Structure 1
């Protein structure tokens, strides 16, 4: 069995001859993963997802593989194995949550008995008779994900699923995606510009810029490539401590902040202890690093 549910092999795409949107893009989305697809605006994320879901046609043959076979050879039956939300979810706001699901179930020839199962899964059973226009943004997004789940997909493809949601809505969608992955075994391919959310949700990431893949692997792999941790120490007044900074590699940010670059986060307690022993009056400690800093470091190089 192929260990990857999605693969692209030297995928290229352009709308005109002036600029390539995607250039030799080779992705490998492991079976059973939650794969975060990251990149600045215009990097090619949505174009990639539209190609994988067949909303755009490939411009060369055999560049996209799903479940170990080329996409072109599996159309249209492949979509019985996939659920997706690309761009804005399509909801019928004048219908109840139940009737939105029933409409899709009818189109897909899914038995109505499946509807209650989905409502419970996305935690909308109590609101199933309520019209979708009365739902919060988070509830609407969970309903849309429920509609994508009616055909019991093995693969779920979501483009910016938490875009515009309030913090509670973001948490609800995050919990749902983790539940789908852990309990249902669904592989999830998700794009987002919210790096902190990707870090909390995903097992693997791919980072692209200007249509080119900069990094792909697990979050642990990315962390190993970007080990430095930046720590900001907030003091009452930096000038008091200049004479005590011998031996420290430090940058002064402003009159009350010193910035230290460490090899890893295990050095933070040692740094704090050293500063306290040298009579530094510490008012705050801010650690920086993680996916956001790694992302910036990668994309700023291009």
Structure 2
């Protein structure tokens, strides 16, 4: 699968602060790529550099297999839709009129206006002034504007920010439908792991401007490790016995952590401890959650999980 977006050594420095540090993004064509990280990690800055709204300090950006430069940027942007931070609109105009302004500027057919209104489920509100739209409706209008012309690449920066649970669910469903319905690649940023987990198939995690993980969502889930937690009447004695038997183990508060064992081996271990006079009080299976992995990768700086 070809990469529709690729950055190499991408950096952005403001004064003495390096906000993005040698970022190597690889966004496969047809994917929903979740760009995940705490607030202030450099996500918006990165997306703005891809769109040419911010000039990189160093590094290169390729979109659709071509390195972006001052000569081809506008041609490239004709195939890209974006919603960065909060949507822009004219409050005194209706939703339909706002989209027609964007349609004219982008030079796309007028019929696209009515198609995208239907896609984001605003066709019934198209004649209403945007000043009277709810926040969720304004977000959907921003998505509609980004969809005009049905671009190959859609870049969305925190599209569920400020929405209520129903609005989040609706936005998520819309985004998830785009690759299959229109063949789009979606690059969506968020600080919410739960959102990316329900939308994306590929993930990049950024911390303080550096990429700390990039792979499929399935691979991220595989980092979730299973182990056993053992509590005994004499943890010190149990640890000594386990180490003598060369069983990998470590103490964590009132428990001894063991690698995952199948049932026969677990039963054998319990018999071994009891046979040596150590009472087994509790044995439970534990799994490191996706949230734990995210917090480890981002240094515990997640704003919201």
Q: TM-score, normalised by structure 1?
A: 0.79
Other-structure match for 1:13 = 12
In structure 2, how many angstroms separate the alpha carbons of the residues matched to 1:102 and 1:154?
21
Runs of 4+ in 1 over 4 A off after TM superposition: 229-232, 241-253, 258-264, 285-288
How many residue pairs get matched? 274
- Distance in 1 between the 2:137 and 2:95 partners? 9
Residue 164 of structure 2, aligned match among 163, 166, 178? 166
Does residue 1:107 correspond to 2:105, yes or no? Answer: yes
* In the alignment, structure 1 residue 296 sits paired with structure 2 residue 295: yes
Gaps of 5+ in 1: 233-240
What are the Cα deviations for residues 80-107 of structure 1, in whole angstroms up to 9, with x where unaligned?
0000011111022222111111111122
Contact residue 225 and residue 287 of structure 2 kept, 8 A? no
Query: 2:194 — aligned with what?
Result: 196
Distance 2:137 2:42 in 1: 28
User: What is the DSSP-based 3-state SS (H/G/I as helix, E as strand, rest coil) of the residue aligned with 1:9?
Assistant: strand
Please, which moves more after superposition, 89-98 or 143-152? 89-98
Larger radius of gyration: 2
What are structure 2's unaligned runs of at least 5 residues?
243-248, 271-279
Deviations 1:234-277 (A, max 9, x none): xxxxxxx9759989989679xxxx9988759x99xx9xxx9xxx
Distance 1:261 1:121, change over 3 A: farther
Q: Is the 8 A contact 1:229 1:261 kept in 2?
A: no
State the SS of the aligned residue for 1:104.
Answer: helix
CA RMSD across the alignment:
3.3
8 Å contact from structure 1 (residues 12, 23) kept in 2: yes
2: CA distance between counterparts of 1:261 and 1:149?
A: 51
Q: Which residue of 2 aligns with 1:147?
A: 145
Distance in 2, Cα, partners of 1:85 & 1:109: 18
